[in-house]
Every structure is written in C-alpha cells, then in structure tokens.
Amino acid sequence: MEKQMEETISDQREIMSHQEAAPKKQKGGLITMPFIIANEAFEKLASYGLAPNMILYLMRDYHFGVAKGTNILFFWNAATNFTPIVGAFLSDSYLGRFLTIGLGSICSLLGMILLWLTAVIPGAKPPPCNQLAKSCKSPTTAQVTFLMSSFAIMSIGAGGVRACCLAFGADQLDRRDNPKNQRVLERFFGWYYASAALSLVIAFTGIVYIQDHLGWKVGFAVPAIFMFFSALSFFFASSLTENFRCRHKLLVGSYHHGKGSLFVVPTDKLRFLNKACIIRSPEQDIAPDGSALNPWSLCTIQQVEELKALIKVIPLWSSGMIMSINISQNSFPILQASSMNRHISSSFQIPAGSFGTFTVISLVVWVAMYDRVFIPLASKIKGKPTRLGVKLRMGLGIFFSCMAMVVSGIVENVRRRKAIRDGHLNNPHAVLDISAMWLVPQHCLIGFAEACNAIGQTEFYYSEFPKSMSSIASSLFGLGMAVANLLASVIISAVDHNTSKGGKESWVSSNINKGRFDNYYWLLAIISVVNLLYFLVCSWAYGPCVDHITSVKNEGNGLEGEEELSNLRT
C-alpha cells in the first residue's frame, strides 16, 4: 500500500510538473470574444425573433386554438431547452465544444429555412378561413409534420449552440490563470447575459415589426439570414479559438481516475458512491492501456465526483422550475396586448409581440445596476468587498416571479372588466380603450426574476461543478426550462380541461374576454408561494456554496480561500 501511495504521489507530481512546463497557449484570449459573442448574438437574434409572434402564426395561418397553439409552443420550448444537455454531454465526452457549436449552427439554419418555406410554399399550410361561411380548414398531417420538423431541427441546433457557447467563451479567457479575482465569474456571467439580452431587444422590436408589417415570408427570412451570419462568424474564428479535448484514463493506486486529474482519492461526500471507482482486481478490471475493461462496473474518480455534484444540486435545481414556468408565459401577454391600446403616438403603435422587450431591458438594467452601482456602493458602506450570494439571488428571482404573476392577474382582471363594461364580451378582436402600458410592470418583474435566478443558477452550477462539467453546468438551467415547459403544458391542459366541464367557458379560452386568464395567473402565483418555501428548505439543506466558503476564507486568511476555490473547481 505504501508503495502504491508513493507511486501515486510521484505520478501526481509528474503530471503537475508537466502542466507547469507546458508552453503558454497561443490561441484563445480576448481576440476570440468578438467572434464567439457574434455567434451567440446572431443565434439569439434569429431564434428569439421567431418566438413572440409564433402564437399568432399558429392561430391565424394554421387555425389552432389558443390552448393547442400554446401547448405546441411549450413543447417546442421544452425541446429547445432540453437538447442543450444532450449537446453538453456529446461535447464533453466526444465531439468537443467547437464541433458541437458548429453542427448546432448548421442545424439551426436548416430549421429556419424549413420554417420560412412554410410561409413561401402555398400548400405547406391550410388555406385561409372562409369568412362568409365562418369556417376554417384544419391543417393536414403532412402540413403539421412539415411545420413540426422545422421546430425539431431548430431545437437540435439550439442544443449544440447553447450547450457550449458559454463554456467555450470561458475556456478562451482561461480564468484559471486569474484565480485572485473572486468576482470574475460573477461579472462574466452577468455581462454575458446582458449582451445576449441586447440581441433580444432587437429581436423583439425589429424582427417583430417586420413580421407585423411585411408578413411572414420576409419575417421568417430575416432570422434565417441572421443565423447564416451566426454560423459564418463562428467558423471564421476556427483558427483563433482554443479547442479542448477529453483526456485518456489512467490507473493510480487502488482508485481509477483520468490522466491529469487532481483527484487522487474521492471525497467523503456521498461516500456510498465511492465504491464505483475502487479497483478490486487489476487483472480483471483494467485493460493493458489503463482503461476500464467494463466501464459500467468501474468508473473514474472524476466521474464519481461529477455524479456527486449533480445529485447534490438536484433539489435546488428543481426549485427553479416554477419560476421558469412563470417566465415562459409568452402567449397570453401577446393576446392581452393585442386587445389593448398600444399607440404611443397617433401614427405609431408598439407591436403586441414587442412588449417582451421590457423584460429584456429590465434584465440589462438589473445587471448594470447590480455590477456598477449596488456592489460598489455596498462595498464602500461596509468597508470591504460585498456581494449577494448565488442562493440569495436565486431566491430573489423566485420572489420576483411570484410578484409578476400577482400583478399579471390584477391587470388582466381590470382589462377583462373593462371589456365586459364596453360590451365586448363576445368580440375577442376588439381593441379596448385601456393602455397596453399597464402590461409593462409584469414584464419588468419577469426581467428582474430572470436576471436574479437564471444568472444565479448558471453561476451556481458553474462554481459547484468540476471543470470537466462546464458544458453541463451551463446547460442545466436550460434543462430546468425544458422540464418547466412540459409542466406548463400539463398545467394549462389541466386548467383547460377542468374549467370547461359542463359546457363552461375555459379559463384559457380562445376568446380572451370570455376566458379567465386572471384566475390562471393567480393559480400560478399560489404555486409560486409554495415553491418559494420549498426553495428556502432546499437552500438550508444544501449548506454553504463554494463562493461563500471562498469569501469567508478570504476575509480571514488572505488567499487561502482562493486556493480552496481552485481545488473545489478543479
């Protein structure tokens, strides 16, 4: 045993000395940022430019009801948010981040071209409704399949791009070379989301305006063109970026681990999992090249520690789903805005699909104020570096999303009573004499919720997970959004089914004035309050985070906390 430990220490020193002697990388760095950011910005500009008005496209051109159309969008969003976790696995295990992003960009472009063809080819969708006979022909199976194929291919493409862009950009900056600034990670994520949000502002204003005034043919062509430039900018930077590969496995001591790994023995957390990496018989468990003969029965220490990290965050991860359901309520606010006065002057009115811009603006404002005003001011008052922990920000996001649903219910209740007083109960297309600007507060609260919780979640996973799980860490929030979209579909289907029994008008009726969207919002608010209590319990049970440990260590021991952070992250 002593001999094995000596060999372990010797091998470990050899690995570390080799790493120290390695020549400094020539690729990567700040020069790659414009290309990576351009790829991400163009991709978001293209994909999110399609989302705001899609419910109107499904209702007007494919003759779907509001409940069915909303469910289709929920499933599309679920697929779009789920595929990044698959892309992260393929990236970290097989393809690498560069190839994964490249293939994803191509798939997204192909999907957008197919969606554009649904607007260009006359037979790709049902004919317009017969206004005289008041009848609408339903789409055929082939037409629905063609439409869904475009959604599916775009979701696959999003899985490649969104799984890796965040981690790929962080790799180029090589933050391991700068461990002394404990706010680098926080600021990086904050401004990353803020810059991406700027592209959403353009999508929710410019592209939505084009769709409203120039039609679907041009409105779907523009995102496809942006996606083309997204792929082009990324491949153009291929000679500048640093691409990381998976490392081969190596046997050290009585445990099986990867070459270059700093894990000599597994940690004591969730110790019952440690037996998965114990070598019981080298002759029967290990191949001549040092790999496991049966990977299903023998794992590396790195794999065990990754599984531990994943299991530990699941409760907190699940607490973010209800908030994700709240921020994914995109269809109903558009229908509300369509029925309200959207004029800001006698000659110009805000497109209904552009009200999501206020969500994005609120997100950007929160990030800017937090980073440039709140943190410096709080640090000056306290006389030492101050910041809000990731779990606190996650909790604030859940609270803001709850308040957004309360405000949404109040505004919708006022709007509906106005419609009834004006005699528009049976006319869902009537435009009421009530300003659509009353919808702005709920959008702002959603923006604050996403700024706190989404950024906090991503930073939380990225800090708590080993570096080998960087792509998975950046995709885990998207996975929560995927599950949330499925749950949202279940909720809206249950509400539609149970509130329409006995011939009653459904809460989510296609006639927004007959429906009770306000009750639907208040139902979500009640669920959000219960979820907030659940989050508090999960947060208490999780214990201190890496960022909290580092902060405490830094206050008492100088750089000791930074060293511990480096060890935990590695």
At 71, list the tokens.
């469910």
Q: What number is the average pLDDT over the span 485-511?
A: 86
- Report residue 529: phi and psi, to 5°: -65, -45
Give the C-alpha separation, 24 to 485, whole Å.
Answer: 44
Give the C-alpha separation, 298 to 274, whole Å.
Answer: 10
Give the C-alpha separation, 502 to 216, whole Å.
Answer: 39
Give the C-alpha separation, 500 to 90, whole Å.
Answer: 44
Alpha carbon separation from 437 to 266, 351, 354, 514 (Å, rounded): 56, 12, 12, 22
Nearest to 168 by CA among 231, 230, 102, 225: 102
Q: Please count the other Cβ atoms lying within 10 Å of the Cβ belonging to residue 544.
A: 12
Tally: H helices and E strands in the chain: 21, 2
Contacts of 518 (CB under 8 A, 6+ apart): 408, 409, 410, 412, 413, 416
At 231, list the tokens.
């792929």
The answer to whether 523 and 115 are in contact (CB under 8 A) is: no
The answer to whether 147 and 62 are in contact (CB under 8 A) is: yes
Give the C-alpha separation, 72 to 58, whole Å.
Answer: 9
Give the C-alpha separation, 208 to 81, whole Å.
Answer: 22
Amino acid at 348: F
Convert the pLDDT of each residue in 378-387 to its tens digit: 788 878 777 7
pLDDT of 255 strictly over 50: yes
**DSSP 3-state assignment of 508?**
coil
Nearest to 162 by CA among 219, 209, 97, 208: 97
CA dihedral 444, 445, 450, 451 (to 10 degrees): 70
Give the C-alpha separation, 315 to 550, whole Å.
Answer: 23
Q: What number is the average pLDDT over the span 397-401?
A: 93
Convert the pLDDT of each residue in 322-333 to its tens digit: 988 988 888 888
Residues in the chain: 570
Give the C-alpha separation, 371 to 296, whole Å.
Answer: 46
Tell me which residue has tokens 């790799």: 171
Contacts of 246 (CB under 8 A, 6+ apart): 92, 93, 94, 96
% the chain with pLDDT above 90: 17
pLDDT at 200: 79
The answer to whether 372 and 438 are in contact (CB under 8 A) is: no
Tell me which residue has tokens 């952070």: 565
- pLDDT category at 41 given cuts 50, 70, 90 is confident
pLDDT at 314: 87
Convert the pLDDT of each residue in 342-393 to its tens digit: 888 877 888 888 888 888 888 888 888 887 888 788 788 878 777 778 888 9
At 87, list the tokens.
């892309």
Give the C-alpha separation, 542 to 216, whole Å.
Answer: 48
The answer to whether 302 and 258 are in contact (CB under 8 A) is: yes
Give ∠ CA 477-465-367 in degrees, rounded to 5.
50
Give ∠ CA 328-332-336 in degrees, rounded to 5.
140
pLDDT at 440: 92
Within its chain, how far is the Cα of 148 from the centroid?
22
H-helix or E-strand containing 249? strand 249-252
Burial pattern 378-400, b for ≥16 Cβ within 10 A else e, equals: eeeeeeeeebbbbbebbbbbbbb
H-helix or E-strand containing 3? helix 2-21
Tell me, what DSSP letter sits at residue 258? Answer: E
Give the C-alpha separation, 513 to 419, whole Å.
Answer: 7
The answer to whether 460 and 390 are in contact (CB under 8 A) is: yes
Convert the pLDDT of each residue in 267-323 to its tens digit: 666 666 666 666 666 655 666 666 665 665 566 666 777 777 778 888 888 998 898
Convert the pLDDT of each residue in 102-114 to its tens digit: 888 899 999 999 9
Give the C-alpha separation, 65 to 80, whole Å.
Answer: 22
Task: Report the greatest alpha carbon distance in the chain.
Answer: 91
CA dihedral 31, 35, 40, 44 (to 10 degrees): 140
Tell me, what DSSP letter sits at residue 207? Answer: I
Convert the pLDDT of each residue in 176-233 to its tens digit: 444 444 455 556 666 666 667 778 788 888 888 898 888 899 999 998 998 888 888 7
Average pLDDT, the chain: 77
Convert the pLDDT of each residue in 122-142 to its tens digit: 889 888 887 665 678 889 999
Within its chain, how far is the Cα of 160 from the centroid?
13
Convert the pLDDT of each residue in 142-189 to its tens digit: 999 999 999 999 999 888 887 776 666 666 655 444 444 445 555 666
Give the C-alpha separation, 159 to 486, whole Å.
Answer: 17
